[in-house]
Amino acid sequence: MATIIVQARKGQALQSDYFGLLLMGDLRRAALAGSVPLTQIDATLASPIPQARSNDGNNFEIEVFRSADDDAVMSHMCANSLTLAEMCDRARGEEMAKSGLLWVCPGCNTATVPGAKAKGGDYKPKSCPGCELKLTAGNVGVRNLVVSAKPEDRPTALFIDGDDINHRYQVVTPTRFLLLDEPHWTYKPAELYASPKLLIRQAGVGVWAILDETDARCPQSVYLYRLKKQRTDEGYDPRYVLACLLSRTMAYYSVKRFGEGDPAKAHVKLTHARLEDFPIPRVDFADAVQRKQHDSIAQNVELMLKGTASAKGAEDYAVEVALRSLWGLGPEEGLRVNEQLKLLPPSQLLAEMFDNSD
């Protein structure tokens, strides 16, 4: 899949810059086809990357889409922020796939999740947790914990999965139900799902999140975040955190930090470990200007959630400008954020953030 050439020497490591770029989308296909020479792409897009950043990191990552200029922007963001982990408590949904598929053991009738996915979409065998019988796709019964029609004679809860979280500033009305009376399933506590909560989809370029004001449950591929009591007492609003997550600036931070900006790549996803360091601008609520910025952001988000204002409209851009101010970013840095995002291949994320005329 790749060729890496390492030039090494014995001795003290040099703290120099190297140049790198990330090939994605149509440009990558053109390079592979030979219709655009790599020398031309390199001259146009390669940016200096400080070797010291890789040397000083815990796992010696090489972030080829993050230049020294991006380091400056991201450093400003982090210096003026609390991390998402400091801002919110976190969890994930039921330990099952979005379909709620269960395998039912033919030996003891225990229901369990299928074996791990194998190549080709099949499931690997697994041992029954009830009797240790070897379960395969061919010898088990199946049940689904998630249903589309609410049964009259069974307890249920509303259910949201990652496919429902697919637009910026959307309000998701759950249309499916999780059955709550499966005797062999260990459900997570109902209070985990109490509203209001932020739901973040695992898969996709950038960050896809909603504010859920129902008590809906979700699968493991959806993460739940809720403001810590300390932050609520300080004055933070969950709509403010949602604005941070859905902002263009946070999308920029995400793709620069992890180099995953191509929607055609199946591995593009977030994890709790990746999300925990995401910077949420710190607000000094004793400062009248910052308090006003926070409240204005939350109010504009509420307008977009109600549908009285549109994403990519004046309110959305007002939110972006206010957040950048709280992050300590000036107009030139804001321009860089937008220009770098537009280097990514076309995707739903970019379509929902920028008009063609932007």
Assess whether 54 and 202 both reside in one domain. no
pLDDT at 194 > cutoff 90: yes
What pLDDT sits at residue 60?
75
Assess whether 254 and 274 both reside in one domain. yes
Q: Which two tokens stand for residue 177?
A: 């139900």
Mean pLDDT, rounded, for 232-242: 98
Q: Residue 316 domain-assigned?
A: yes
Assess whether 304 and 356 both reside in one domain. yes
Least confident of 25-34, 68-77, 324-333: 25-34
Nearest to 97 by CA among 165, 178, 171: 178
pLDDT band, residue 42 (cuts 50/70/90) = confident
Least confident of 38-52, 154-168, 174-188: 38-52
Q: Residue 137 domain-assigned?
A: no
131 or 9, higher pLDDT: 131
Percent over 70 (pLDDT), the chain: 96
234 or 259, higher pLDDT: 234
Mean pLDDT, rounded, for 258-284: 85
What pLDDT sits at residue 38?
87
Q: What is the mean pLDDT of the chain?
A: 91
What pLDDT sits at residue 183?
87
Q: At what angle do helices 68-79 and 331-341 cross, to 10 degrees?
A: 120
What pLDDT sits at residue 260?
79
Percent over 90 (pLDDT), the chain: 66
Give the highest mean pLDDT range of 17-31, 106-120, 168-182: 168-182
pLDDT at 318 > cutoff 90: yes
What pLDDT sits at residue 2?
66
Mean pLDDT, rounded, for 220-232: 96
Looking at residue 301, which CATH number applies to its domain? Answer: 3.90.220.20
Q: Residue 78 domain-assigned?
A: yes
Assess whether 58 and 71 both reside in one domain. no
Q: Residue 155 domain-assigned?
A: no
pLDDT at 358 > cutoff 70: no
pLDDT tens-digit profile of 94-104? 999 898 999 99
Mean pLDDT, rounded, for 9-30: 81
pLDDT at 69 > cutoff 60: yes
pLDDT tens-digit profile of 138-158? 999 999 999 999 999 999 999
What pLDDT sits at residue 275?
94
What pLDDT sits at residue 357?
52
Phi-psi region of 105 (alpha: psi -120 to 50; beta: other; left: phi over 0): beta
What pLDDT sits at residue 187?
94
Q: Residue 326 domain-assigned?
A: yes
Q: Residue 147 domain-assigned?
A: no
Residue 66 φ then ψ, to 5°? -115, 105
pLDDT at 111 > cutoff 70: yes
Which residue range(s) make up the domain with 57?
A: 21-64
218 or 61, higher pLDDT: 218
Sequence-distant (6+) residues with CB within 8 A of 196 are 211, 212, 213, 226, 238
Least confident of 40-44, 261-265, 318-322: 261-265
Assess whether 249 and 302 both reside in one domain. yes
User: Among 8, 43, 64, which residue terminates a domain?
Assistant: 64
pLDDT at 268 > cutoff 80: no
pLDDT tens-digit profile of 119-129? 777 899 999 99
Assess whether 58 and 197 both reside in one domain. no
pTM of this structure = 0.88
Assess whether 60 and 72 both reside in one domain. no
pLDDT at 39 > cutoff 60: yes
Number of domains in the chain: 2
What pLDDT sits at residue 265?
66
Q: Residue 257 domain-assigned?
A: yes
Distance between CA 135 and CA 127 in Å, rounded?
Answer: 6
Q: Residue 101 domain-assigned?
A: no
